[in-house]
Chain A
Amino acid sequence: MSTALLQLQNLTKNYGALRVTDDVSFTVEPGELHAIIGPNGAGKTTLIHQISGHARPDSGQILFDDHDITDLSMAARAQRGLVRSFQITSILPRFSALENVALAAQARAGSSFRFLGNAAEEPELNDIAMGLLTRFGLGARAHIPAGQMSHGEKRQLEIAIALAAKPKLLLLDEPLAGTSRDESQRLINILQELRKELPIILIEHDMDAVFALADRVSVLVYGRIIACGSPQNIRDNAEVRAAYLGEEAA
C-alpha cells in the first residue's frame, strides 16, 4: 500500500461532449499542502466536486486512507474525514455562527438521531465551536446570524465549519475568493497555521498565496494536469508559463 493519504487514479469526466476532467492522477501525502492552479474553466471546481463526492467521475478511482471511496456519497466521505469548503460561501444563513460550527462538530460527535435534549445547549459541542471561532477571531460574533456577517467573516466561518467536522484532509475551494486585501492576509495567516496541523488540497487563484503556502503545485489546463512539482519547479516550467502564467503576466 502506498503512503499517500489521497490518491486519484485516472479520473475522467465529461459534460456532454465536453471533457472537463481528463485522465487526472495525483496524490496527497500526509502533512502536505497540495495546491491546484489553472486558468478559469480549467475544471478545478469540477475536480474538487469529484474528490468531495458532490459529483461522480465517469471513470477512474479515488482512494482515501487506502480505501476506495469512488462510490461513496459526500456525507460518507465527510464522515471519513474528507471535508471540503465551497468557493461560493455555503453556510446556514439563519443559524448563528456558533450553531453553524457546533452543527459540524455534532456530525462527528455521536449519533444525531437524538430527539430529546436541546442541541443548542450541549456544552461539548459549543465548546468546540467557540474554540474554533475564537481562534479565527470571530468569538465576539458567535451569536450573530451567519447570514449577517461580512464576506470576509463568512469565508473564515466556512473554514471553521470544515475544521469542526474533524477533517483528516481538508479541501479548500478558493478560500480567498472575493476577499479584500486585509481579509485575504488574515486568511493566509490562518492557512499558514493550518498547514502545520493537517494535509490540505488548496484550489486558489491568488498566485502569491499559492506559492507562499504550497509544498507541491499541480497545474490543471483543459481538465488535464500538465505539470506537478514544487512551487519553484512550477514557476520555472516553460509549458506552464506558456499555458497559464504567461497569460497572467500579459
Chain B
Amino acid sequence: MNNLVDLDAAPALATPTRARRTRILPVIIFAAFALVPLALLLGPQSYVLAVVTRIMILALGAMSLDLLIGYGAMISFGHAAFVGLGAYSVAILASHGITDGFVQLAVALATSLIFALFTGAISLRTKGVYFIMITLAFGQMLFFLTTSLAAYGGDDGLTLAARSTFFSLKFMKNDLAMYYVTFGTLLGAYLLLRAIVASRFGRVLRGIRENPVRMEAIGFAPYRYQLTAYVIAGLIAGGSGFLLANQTEFVSPAYTAWQRSGELIFVLVLGGLGSLHGAILGAAAFTLLADILSHYTENWAMIFGPILILVVLFVRGGINGLFGGKP
C-alpha cells in the first residue's frame, strides 16, 4: 500500500546548514517582493505589479494548503472552494453596494470557517484516497452552487463594481496599495503558519503525519487536530479569495473548479512540500511559466502538462529542494 504522501519527498529535520538555508531563503524572497515596486519606478509598472500580485495571492492559497498536505498529510483536492468562497463574498456584497473591506473580509472568513467545519468534519472521517475524493466532491458541490447563482452571473461570473474600501477609503483602487496589502497578508500568513508549525499544535500535527497510530497511543486524538488545521487552512485560503476578487475585479465559478484545486497542489509540489516558502517559489514559477509560454504559443498547455509530469517524476523536493538540498 502506498503512503499518501511520501515522507522522503519532504525535507527532514533541520540539519545545521539546512536550518540556516531555510532561514535565509524566505528572507530573500520577502525582501525581493518588498522591493519589486521600487525597481519598477523607472519602467512600466502596472503589468508587472499585477503579475507579482497574482503570484502572491496564489502563493497564499498554496501555502495554506501546505499546512494540510505538507505538515498534516491531508491531501485536500477541494481547496479552491475556499478561494471561491472568499472571492464570491466580496463580489456578492459589492453587488449589493457593501464595499466595506472589513465587512467583506469578515463574511469571507465566516463562510470559509463554516464550510471548513462542515466539510472537514465529514471528510476527516475518511482516510487515504477516500479523503482526496470527498474533498473533491465538496469542491464540486460549491462549483455547481456558484454556477447556479443566476442573480450573480451564473456561469458567466460577476464583475466587481468596485474594489473594497477600508475606513471608506478607496486606496485598494491603487495598484501599488493593492500590492502592499497582498504583500503584508502573505508575510503575515507566512509568519503565522511558521509559528503554528513549530508550536505544540504543529508538533502534534507533524506527529500525526508521521505515525497516527503512535500519536493515538500516547493520547492524541488525531481528528481534532486535523480538523483544526483544516479550518485554519480554509480561513487563509478564504482570505486569498478576498484578495483575488479585488485584484481581478471579477469572480466566476472557474475559481472553484477542481482544476484550480489541482493547480494549487501542483504549485505546492513544484515549490516544495512542507517548507511554507516553497509555496511562494512554486507560485512564482507556475505563474511566470504560464505567462511566458502563453506569450509564445496558444498551445502552451501542451508544454505545461509534460513539465508537470516531469517535475513529479524527476524533481523530488521541488524548487526548494534544489535550493536547500535534501538528505
Please tell me which stretch of A9-17, A100-108, A200-208, A212-220 contacts chain B, meaning at least 4 of its Cβ atoms lie within 8 angstroms of it: A100-108
The CA of A94 and the CA of B202, in the complex, are separated in Å by 15
With an 8 A cutoff between CB atoms, is B43 at the interface? no
Question: Given that A76-B221, A92-B210 are contacting pairs, would A117 and B216 also be in contact in the complex, using a CB cutoff of 8 Å?
Answer: no
Please tell me which stretch of A79-87, A176-184, A228-236 contacts chain B, meaning at least 4 of its Cβ atoms lie within 8 angstroms of it: A79-87
With an 8 A cutoff between CB atoms, is B211 at the interface? yes
Contact with A along B189-203 (1 / 0, CB 8 A): 000000110111111
**Does the CB pair A90–B207 fall under 8 Å?**
no
Tell me, rounded to whole Å, the shortest Cβ–Cβ distance linking A169 to chain B: 13
Question: Given that A94-B13, A95-B207, A112-B201 are contacting pairs, would A73 and B214 also be in contact in the complex, using a CB cutoff of 8 Å?
Answer: no
Contact with B along A97-139 (1 / 0, CB 8 A): 0010001101110011111111110100000000000000000
The CA of A115 and the CA of B207, in the complex, are separated in Å by 15
- Chain A residues closer than 8 Å to B220, beta-carbon distance: 75, 107, 112
- Chain B residues closer than 8 Å to A118, beta-carbon distance: 198-199
Tell me, rounded to whole Å, the shortest Cβ–Cβ distance linking A171 to chain B: 9
With an 8 A cutoff between CB atoms, is B149 at the interface? no
With an 8 A cutoff between CB atoms, is A52 at the interface? yes
**Does the CB pair A73–B210 fall under 8 Å?**
no
Tell me, rounded to whole Å, the shortest Cβ–Cβ distance linking A239 to chain B: 34
Question: Given that A94-B12, A96-B13 are contacting pairs, would A119 and B216 also be in contact in the complex, using a CB cutoff of 8 Å?
Answer: no
With an 8 A cutoff between CB atoms, is A145 at the interface? yes
How many chain-B residues does the 8 Å CB contact rule pick out?
28
**Does the CB pair A103–B204 fall under 8 Å?**
yes
- Chain B residues closer than 8 Å to A161, beta-carbon distance: 214, 218
With an 8 A cutoff between CB atoms, is B213 at the interface? yes
- Chain A residues closer than 8 Å to B214, beta-carbon distance: 86, 90-92, 161
- Chain A residues closer than 8 Å to B203, beta-carbon distance: 99, 103, 106, 112, 119-120
With an 8 A cutoff between CB atoms, is B217 at the interface? yes
- Considering only CB atoms, which chain A residue lies closest to B12 in the complex? A94
Tell me, rounded to whole Å, the shortest Cβ–Cβ distance linking B26 to chain A: 16
Question: Given that A94-B7, A95-B13, A95-B207 are contacting pairs, would A114 and B201 also be in contact in the complex, using a CB cutoff of 8 Å?
Answer: yes
- Considering only CB atoms, which chain A residue lies closest to B205 in the complex? A112
List CB contacts (< 8 Å) of B216-256 with chain A. 216-222, 225, 228
The CA of A159 and the CA of B211, in the complex, are separated in Å by 16
Q: Which of B202, B222, B228 has the most CB of A within 10 A?
A: B202
Q: List 24 A-B contacts (CB under 8 A).
A: A54-B217, A75-B217, A75-B219, A76-B221, A78-B219, A79-B219, A84-B217, A90-B217, A91-B211, A92-B211, A94-B12, A94-B210, A99-B203, A107-B220, A112-B203, A112-B204, A113-B201, A115-B199, A115-B202, A118-B198, A119-B200, A122-B200, A145-B13, A161-B218
